[in-house]
Structures are given as C-alpha cells and as structure tokens.
Amino acid sequence: MKTRDKILAESLSLFNTQGERVVSTNHIAAHLGISPGNLYYHFPNKKAIIREINDQHQEEMLALLEVPEDRPFTIADKAEMMESLVEMLWQHQFLYRDVEHMLAEDPELAASHRLAFKVYLDYAMKIHEALANAGLQETTANERRDLSYNAWIIITNWITFLRCNVTSTLDQALSPALIKRGVYQVLAIEQVYATPAALNDMKELTQSYYIDLESLDF
C-alpha cells in the first residue's frame, strides 16, 4: 500500500476510534511510524485528509445507490442497498458523529457535504420511482421526496442514536445486528406504501432486520 493510502486508512481508523478533534497529524504520523514531514508531503494538513476521506466515501456511497437498468428493481434490492449503506456509514462513522464541528471548521468540506446530499436525494427518489414502476410501491412525487429525506435522517443518525440511547456507555461496542437495525427503521416507515402484491414480502423483509431494543441488557 502506498504511503498516501496508508495515511488515509490510519487516519480513518483513528478518527473513528478516538474522535477527529483529538487526533492530530502528529498522532497519525506516529501511528504510521513516519515523520510529520513525510505526512505533509502528501497532505498539507488534517483538513485535507478529512476531505479526501469524505470524497472517497461519497463516491462509494453513491455507487451503492445505482438502480439496475437490465431488470426490474425489487424490495430486496432496496434492503440490500440500505444494509450496505449502513455498514459503509459505520466504517466512516466519524464523518457523521463529528459532522457539525467539521463543517463549521472547513467551508470547503461543508459545501461538498451539502452538494453530496442533493445528489443523494436525487438517487433516493429514483430508487422509489423504480419501486413504483415495478408495481411494488404506490407513491406520489412528494411522498418519494419525503421518504428520501426520512431515510437519510434515520440512517445518518442511527449510530449516534444507539450510542446515546441504547448502549450503556458511549464507547461500548455495537453489534452488526444493532447497526443493521437502522434498515428496519427505514423499511418500517416505507411499508405502508407497499402495493398489496408486495406487502407480505415487504413485511417479511422488514422483520428480518428487527431487534427489540427495549429488551437488550446493556
């Protein structure tokens, strides 16, 4: 792996585990066993590292949301997209946990973040349109917009919700099943828009992501 890629990978790990605010470029260089000068050769500062991680994350995220053009879209396709999206957000959790601070500190990152959301919203509405075209969902254009907003709000805040309201400590490990429970929250809202032909499959798929949060012993 090239030094530049190692810097990005190590930074992502440190930002996720320790928090972006407390990790400096010196910390990153020390973990890599390189000099700060070597790090600055590739990135002039920490903001540049964060922007690069964010750009890569946005590209990967949008690639997940491509609707197949060679066959009808299915509810299982939607659920698989959501599951992959939740996992990807978990792998880049610092971008959502520390987001207000980072956007306030870096106007360039803030502009990129807002633009990416607009693109995401367009992709999400196309997904709902594909479900409607396949006879699996009955929605108006306004309802598709609202569902897209709801999905983004839930998914991007799900890990923070778990840490603050479900686990007993903020640093307690979260299981993959708990993280994927966010998919249930989205599908449960969208279930009411399923057509009669799709409703049973929708309910079964939605339930497969369910975990009773109230019964967990943390």
Q: What range does the domain containing 34 cover? A: 1-44
**Given a cut of 60, is residue 110 above it in pLDDT?**
yes
Give me the DSSP letters along 16-76. HHH-GGG--HHHHHHHHT--HHHHHHH-SSHHHHHHHHHHHHHHHHHHHTPPPSSS---HH
| Mean pLDDT, residues 60-75 taken together | 90
Please tell me the distance from the alpha carbon of residue 148 to that of residue 141, in angstroms, as a whole number.
Answer: 11
pLDDT for residue 34 is more than 90: yes
How many domains are there within the chain? Answer: 2
- Looking at the fold, whether 100 and 169 belong to one and the same domain comes out as yes
> With contact defined as beta carbons under 8 Å apart, do 62 and 54 qualify?
no
- The mean predicted confidence, pLDDT, of the chain is 91
Q: What is the CATH number of the domain that holds 95?
A: 1.10.357.10
Same domain? 36 vs 133: no
> What average pLDDT score do residues 162-169 get?
77
Which CA distances in Å does 90 have to 47, 60, 85, 140, 204?
21, 13, 9, 31, 25
Same domain assignment for residues 72 and 168 = yes
Q: Are residues 110 and 187 in the same domain?
A: yes
Q: How many other C-beta atoms can be found within 10 angstroms of the C-beta atom of residue 92?
A: 19
Do residues 23 and 60 share a domain?
A: no
